[in-house]
Structure 1
Amino acid sequence: MKHKQIILDVDTGLDDSLALMLALKHPDINVLGITTVSGRVSAEQAYLNTIQLINRLDTHERPPVIKGSGEPLLNRFPIATHQAHSTEEQLHRILDGSSVEYPVLDEHAVTFMINTILKNAKPVTLVLMGPLTNFALALKVAPEIVDYISDVIVMGGAEGKGNITSVAEFNIYCDPEAAQIVLGHPDLNIHLITLDICQNAFLTEEDLETLLENDQSTSQLALKILQGITNQFRNVYAPISGAATLLYAMDSELLEGEMAEVSVETGSPLTRGMTVINRESYGDGHVFVPSDIDHQRFTESFVRTLVGEWL
């Protein structure tokens, strides 16, 4: 019986695709729905990428996919979506861009989040892999949902160098006001999977060989996406942050860390989107921020899930 109830919020490009594949293949995850948000690609393109990806997988899982926010909460700065992310076009080519039939839900992602969280029989875990706009709006519209949420796992932020500016990580930079609403909420169990920790989430050549030897369509699709990520980073050991974030949702022992205070810079144009992480909060922090990853545990879980070798 699948015991983890998850809503995935994504801006589906190369990296998020791997996380989606893992979620839909994992034997213990019940994907209640997938919501899309503008980030690496537009919310509309993320929706199309997601349904095309699901259509390519060797699984019968067909969770609802719902389009969400196309702009940040305060559109003061041009959102970083549609910027130099030509690498994300590789996913379109990998999926071949063919049209697919998929059930359409006539509601917004925020409405879906709220209704699903409130109506689900078990507490829900949210795995947020893009800008935090959808969930921030859900918290504003229906603050009571916090009582029905188990954990909120956020892929974003950086303690060191950013990846969109010198101090800001992409997801947080896209909508820092939304990030501050989420990360600053005192009544949520928040886990912040930062850019720093994800640098050590990569596959070895042996792992890639295992996937290569497996003839399942999911494994072969994963290899194509991994090649796209390798090309993007120009490094065979490129980080796969989305996979690490998703697998942590299922295995808390994957990452070690401590509670910290986390704030997001929303005012200064020079440091907009910077995550200020204070690990010296002496027990007052409310956000779990990892400092180490069990690399062997990560790679074994990744490969086992994709090739279906869970005992």
Structure 2
Amino acid sequence: MPRPVIIDCDPGTDDAVALLLAFASPELDVRAVTVAGGNVGLARTLANALALTRLAGVSVPVHAGADRPLLGAFTGEPRVHGPDGLGGIVLPPGGAPAPGIAADAIRAILRQSADPVTLVGIGPATNLALALATEPALAERVAAIALMSGAWAEGNVTPAAEFNAWSDPEALAILLAAGRPVTFATLELTAQALATPERIAQWRAKGTGRCLAAACDIQASVPPSQRLGGRGAPLHDPCAVLCLTHPRLFTSRPAHVQVELAAGISRGRTVMNRWGGVPNARVLDTLDADGFFAVLGERLATLP
């Protein structure tokens, strides 16, 4: 039976590819898409999620969520995603969002589902944390949590922190304290998912569907990462989806993960201790990159 999941996101170029991948994965039953401000502000991220859902021809409800983290305000990343979040790639507009706010929708799905639900977080963790912090008993209804978040070492928004963890570290700390299995796709892992021009060209050769074309155009708009030598751009968020459907493409290790909450230059840093403390998470370690891009291309080509 397909695994019931909620995708919590902030589209975002890599979120867009991850959403399309989730819609194309028969192993997953996407119960809802919930949206936070994150990459380019809630007005844009919500519109992008709605447009992607309509583009894929799926009837998954999309719920508006947090327009700010638990403390402070989101700081977007238009340098990577463009001012519109999709690198300037224009999609046909989507429909209206589903009624209710994201945290309420998450709690309702957890209560009503006959089976435990996996939470897939590919943006700041605000919506997921609000849902679990306001009704902690619902953590028992969570099968697992898969996150694109954190880094073993250097960050990508500050020297200490990865963007999603830095955007709402208090929310990430709440998820780590919930007592459910947590898997991290860190920057070290996603650096192995490097979308080069050659790999995007291989995707384009797989078909002529509108979703495949949009995914290729969106990913091609992302500037090459100078942090990774300028050869391409890391495709972060699909890692948190594909580790659920194709775990054979990954290796992982247990770790005790904490997030730095204090103000200052280390805020949002994820401290991942492999040798001490009781493990509270699994951290994805290596990726079969060729297999990763092959599966992604094949899946995207099945969409309209």
Using structure 1 for the length normalisation, give the TM-score: 0.89
Residues 87 and 221 of structure 2 are in contact (CA less than 8 Å); yes or no, is this contact kept in structure 1? Answer: no
Contact persistence 2:103–2:130 (CA under 8 A): yes
Q: Is the 8 A contact 2:11 2:48 kept in 1?
A: yes
The question of whether the paired residues in 2 share the 8 Å contact of 1:7 and 1:31 is answered with yes
Q: What does residue 285 of structure 1 align with?
A: 279
Measure the CA separation in 2 of the matches of 1:51 and 1:170.
23
Please give the residue correspondences for 1:267-282 in structure 2 after superposition, counting only pairs within 5 Å. 267-281=262-276
Q: What is the CA distance between 1:40 and its match in structure 2? A: 0.5
SS at match of 1:89: coil
Shift in Å, 1:161: 0.9
User: How do 1:133-172 residues align onto structure 2 when only pairs under 5 Å count?
Assistant: 133-172=126-165
Q: Deviations over 1:68-118 (max 9, x none)?
A: 01111122xx4322665562536163125x54434x422110000000011
**Identity over aligned pairs, percent:** 27
- Confirm whether residue 62 of structure 1 aligns to residue 56 of structure 2: no
Using the alignment, how far apart are the partners of 2:26 and 2:114 within structure 1?
19
The corresponding residue for 1:212 is: 204
SS in 2 for 1:122: coil
Preserved CA contact (<8 Å) 1:49 1:92 = no
Q: Distance in 1 between matches of 2:285 and 2:94?
A: 41
Relative to structure 1, is the Cα distance of residues 82 and 304 closer, same or farther in structure 2, using a 3 angstrom cutoff?
closer
TM-score (norm 2): 0.91
| 1:3 equivalent in alignment to 2:9 | no
Contact 1:198–1:239 (CA under 8 A) maintained in structure 2:
yes
Aligned equivalents of 1:106, 1:90: Cα separation in 2: 23
| Partner deviation per Cα, 1:280-311 (whole Å, 9 max, x = no partner) | 137x20100122112232122111111239xx
5+ unaligned residues in a row in structure 1: which ranges?
A: none
Matched, 1:237 2:232: yes
SS of the residue aligned with 1:280? coil
> Is the Cα–Cα contact under 8 Å of residues 53 and 94 in structure 2 kept in the other structure?
no
SS of the residue aligned with 1:223? Answer: helix
C-alpha distance in structure 2 between counterparts of 1:297 and 1:82, whole Å: 29
Amino acid across the alignment from 1:208? I
**1:1-311 aligned within 5 A:** 3-57=2-56, 60-75=57-72, 78-81=73-76, 84=79, 87-89=82-84, 91=86, 93-96=88-91, 98-102=92-96, 104-185=97-178, 187-203=179-195, 207-213=199-205, 214-229=207-222, 231=223, 233=225, 235-281=230-276, 284-308=278-302
Distance 2:87 2:63 in 1: 19
Mapped partners of 2:20, 2:221: distance in 1 = 16
Q: How many residues align?
A: 299
